[in-house]
Amino acid sequence: MANLGKPPDFDVVVIGAGFAGLGMLRRLREENGMSVQVYETGDGVGGTWYWNRYPGARCDSESYVYCFTFSKELLQDWDWSGKYPEQPEILSYLNHVADRFDLRRNIQFNTRVTSARFLEDTSLWEIETDQGDRVTAQFLITGIGCISSGNVPDIKGLDSFQGEWYHTGSWPHEKVDFAGKRVAVIGTGSSGIQSIPVIAEQAEHLSVFQRTPQYTVPARHGTVDRKFIEEKIKPNYEEVLEKARWSVGGFPIDRDERSALEVTAEERLEAYEAGWAEGGIRFLGASFKDISVDRRANDTMSEFIRNKIREMVSDPETVEKLLPTDHPFGSKRPLIDTNYFDTYNRENVELIDIRHSPIQEITPNGIRTEDEEYEFDMIVFATGFDAMTGTYFKMDIRGRNDLSLKEKWSEGPKTYLGLQTVGFPNMFMITGPGSPSVLSNMPVSIEQHIDWIADLLQFMRDGDIKSVEADENAETAWVAHVNEVAEPTMYMLADSWYLGANIPGKPRVFMPYVGGVGNYRKKCNEIADNGYEGFILDAGRR
Ligand SMILES: Cc1cc2nc3c(=O)[nH]c(=O)nc-3n(C[C@H](O)[C@H](O)[C@H](O)COP(=O)(O)OP(=O)(O)OC[C@H]3O[C@@H](n4cnc5c(N)ncnc54)[C@H](O)[C@@H]3O)c2cc1C
């Protein structure tokens, strides 16, 4: 073929310019000395924080651990203003990183990768974009995000709606004005519970369409505690970060190593009240060790939250609708809110239970459920994402023997460590399915993958190795392990997007790795130390 012997256009093509793409670009360019081209659909950096500009959009990880850690100077220089970083602030942080490390010169914005094909004769990837680019690279690395394909449900009649409608995951850059409007929010996942209280304060009337009642924990958001950051975090940053890297969820917090069932009811209540008062991820993260694996232990926490809902919401009928009884706490993505339940005490807010009265259609003037017709000026879809695999399937990715990724993953994603998938040599996924990814504080997992991939690429360069591919047996064993560790957990007891349950027709497979960030890191390190066990390294091609 024409390409034989011809050097590729780039050593590496990276897709996406969020945390993953930016970090990968910097690492490979600055430390590996490789040529890198990044393609990004959006017209700026930021990924999640570029697209999700809905009111109330905020990160649930505390700001001092939701950041890059490769630069000591950056860690010391950057000051977050909020306890939890809000969307505009994360976006300006990522813009700062892009400028400070001169990353934009290798990013082509407004460019969507449409296909990527592995050329077997040269072991190169050929990448095509919607802007007409067609380039080759030795390596293809996806930094496309786990939750970056918004899911607008296929409801009859949406085209006929005469008002405005938005999805939280692709929110307009201009301010959306809710004043004087009758607004519907469909969905009570993370984006819903963040946006509902803010929209309620601005709209004339807000109707929330709820399918699943949720457990949510107060964030206790506020301005950052400067004394804590200056005295406890900044002087000890490396120690704090190491703790996060070797933890279960990527947060520097200690879990209570007792069982919820071995303490007295009073001690348990005291622990839950303390966690509730601290709020946020600490409520779950620092709690008893068996909440996520023992249903009886979990019941004590689930009931604690239900009691809080009973206390917070005044109307008994609304309380009944809000009480989550069909799944245990922590079986779906943990939610952290500001004034969510209080919002249902407002005069201008109503809750519509669409599990009992499903939406039939969207009409020119609003929404019709089985029981009633409602009129709206605006509909907000807070309906989440086609997570973990949706964004991959929007591209035509083809490996050896023209195998398409979509076909290979038709029964659910299959990977080795969430980093590679058999049949797709020299392609890596940052936080791919089968890695801790969405079950963790993601920058910790993203950076771990960035470093691991960059080290492997260096190892290959040093050893004149041209291609790397996961071994079939290693992949099969890893997929089995991912399933095995998920099986006894609460995660299997809910219809969640972790299981693909929010997307009609999607195979029901638990996609992230639940074994913990620290254990996973250890495993990846051991594999690398053993000469990249489970990967086939080939010096022969090209
Ligand atoms: C509302 C919301 C709240 C969140 N809260 C938290 C939190 O509290 N804690 C936490 O750890 N994580 C949170 N996350 C997860 C968040 O996605 C990650 O923390 C992190 O931002 C992911 O970075 P990324 O670079 O991997 O992916 P993303 O930020 O999703 O970036 C991927 C980029 O790839 C681009 N892209 C995709 N396909 C293509 C293509 N074919 N061609 C070109 N470009 C493409 C996209 O445009 C996007 O810009 C949240 C996510 C959302 C949506």
DSSP 218-232: E----B--HHHIIII
In tens, the pLDDT along 85-135 reads 999 999 999 999 999 999 999 999 999 999 999 999 999 999 999 999 999
Smallest CA-to-CA distance from 37 within 16, 18, 6 is with: 16
Half-sphere exposure at residue 321, Cβ-oriented, CA atoms within 13 angstroms:
20
Atom of ligand 1 nearest to the CA of 111: 43
Task: Report residues whose beta carbon is within 6 angstroms of any ligand 1 atom.
Answer: 15-21, 39-42, 47-48, 50, 52, 57, 59-61, 112-113, 143-145, 147-148, 190-191, 391, 395, 430-431, 441-442, 446
CA distances from 312 to 5, 82, 195, 342, 343 (A): 69, 25, 19, 6, 10
Strands 10-15 and 205-210: unpaired
Cβ neighbours of 439 (radius 10 Å):
24
> Band of the pLDDT at 3, cuts 50, 70, 90?
low
Which protein residue has the closest C-alpha to ligand 1 atom 38?
144
Q: How many angstroms separate the alpha carbon of residue 126 from the centre of ligand 1?
A: 24
The separation between the first and the last C-alpha atoms of the chain, rounded to the nearest angstrom, is 12
Confidence (pTM): 0.97
Cα 472 → chain centroid: 27
Which residue of 91, 129, 135, 144 sits with most ligand 1 atoms within 8 Å of its CB, as the best mutation to test the pocket?
144
What is the per-residue pLDDT across 287-333, written as a single tens digit (0 to 9) for each? 899 999 999 999 999 999 999 999 999 999 999 999 999 999 999 99
pLDDT in tens, 28-69: 999 999 999 999 999 999 999 999 999 999 999 999 999 999
113-119 and 124-129: which strand pairing?
antiparallel
State the DSSP string of 11-50. EEEEE--SHHHHHHHHIIIIIS---EEEE-SSSSS-THHH
Inter-axis angle of helices 442-462 and 19-26, to 10 degrees? 30
| Atom 8 of ligand 1, nearest CA residue | 60
* Angle, in degrees to the nearest 10, between helices 237-245 and 442-462: 90
Q: Nearest to residue 511, comparing CAs of 450, 439, 433?
A: 433
Q: Which amino acid is residue 538, in one-letter code?
A: D
* pLDDT tens profile 497-531: 999 999 999 999 999 999 999 999 999 999 999 99
